[in-house]
Amino acid sequence: MLARIGRQNCRLNSLIERARPRNQRARSAGRAILEELEKERTRIARDLHAGAGQPLAGIKMNLDLIDGCAAELPEGARTAVTRLRTLTDQALAQVRAVSHRLHPPAWQQLSTEQAIRSLVESSGMMAQMEMVLDFQPLPTEPDHGVKVSLYRCAQECLSNISRHAEATRIEIRLRPVDGAVELMIRDNGKGLTPGAPKGSGIGLLALHEHSEAMGGTTDIASGPGGTTVTVRIPLREESDEDDE
């Protein structure tokens, strides 16, 4: 019996050793993918600014010049110019909003708490519903990849709440838990669609991908009283010595 237990223990140790490098490679690959995604976001944001934002701003400037001569134009032309200015303003606002969402120019230089606070304030949701913020001091500032993942998770949650939840109250909590940083976002909305898997949908899948790439987890609990998303990511990645 002891010999059989010994052999089983050896097999288990062998399985663990074979599995560990795969997990480490998966985390490394996940980090690399997220880094490339952030680079691509930056590129798209710059392309939007240069390729669409600047021409739209030029169109708006020329429409303003035409508007200065509106008294000399027929009524139909004046109406058309007014409509074009409105459409240009709307398109320019959309381009700026998308560009800011892809790669806000300042938040990556902020601390994790400051970045999430900035996201909440810029969302405009504080004027629409009750917002409860609870940010507890972290023992150390998370590395850049962890901060980006937490920010993107918060961004996705706020976007989902704004579009779908019909909530009147949001609670956001950031705190250290057992060597990890935990981001919890809870709303009192209508919850996820009944019968839908709790990890389905591009947005919800993105939450899992962001946390898992950093060696963390995402838990989503939803019901008629609202939805709670809890993201937990280690403050630092385990080293080979920690694994041993």
The share of the chain scoring above pLDDT 70, in percent, equals 65
Q: pLDDT, tens digit, for every residue of 194-205?
A: 655 544 455 677
Looking at the DSSP bridge assignments, the partners of residue 129 are: none
Residue 74 has a pLDDT of: 83
Residue 244 has a pLDDT of: 40
User: If we measure between CA atoms, which residue out of 150, 166, 157 comes closest to residue 108?
Assistant: 150
- Determine contact, residues 41/156, Cβ cutoff 8 Å: no
Cα 197 to Cα 199: distance, rounded to the nearest angstrom: 5
- Determine contact, residues 136/175, Cβ cutoff 8 Å: yes
Residue 21 pLDDT level (bands cut at 50, 70, 90): very low
Residue type, 29: A
What is the CATH topology of the domain spanning 107-243? Heat Shock Protein 90 (3.30.565)
- Determine contact, residues 211/218, Cβ cutoff 8 Å: yes
Average pLDDT value for the chain: 77
Buried/exposed code over 103-139 (b: 16+ C-beta within 10 A; e: otherwise): bbeebeebebbebbbebbeebebeeebeeeeebeeee
User: If we measure between CA atoms, which residue out of 226, 127, 131, 222 comes closest to residue 173?
Assistant: 131
Residue 212 has a pLDDT of: 84
Which strands, in side-by-side order, build the sheet including 180-187? 130-135, 169-177, 180-187, 226-234, 217-223
Q: pLDDT, tens digit, for every residue of 191-235?
A: 887 655 544 455 677 788 878 888 899 999 998 889 999 999 998
Residue 5 has a pLDDT of: 42
**Is the overall model pTM greater than 0.85, yes or no?**
no
Cα 193 to Cα 198: distance, rounded to the nearest angstrom: 9
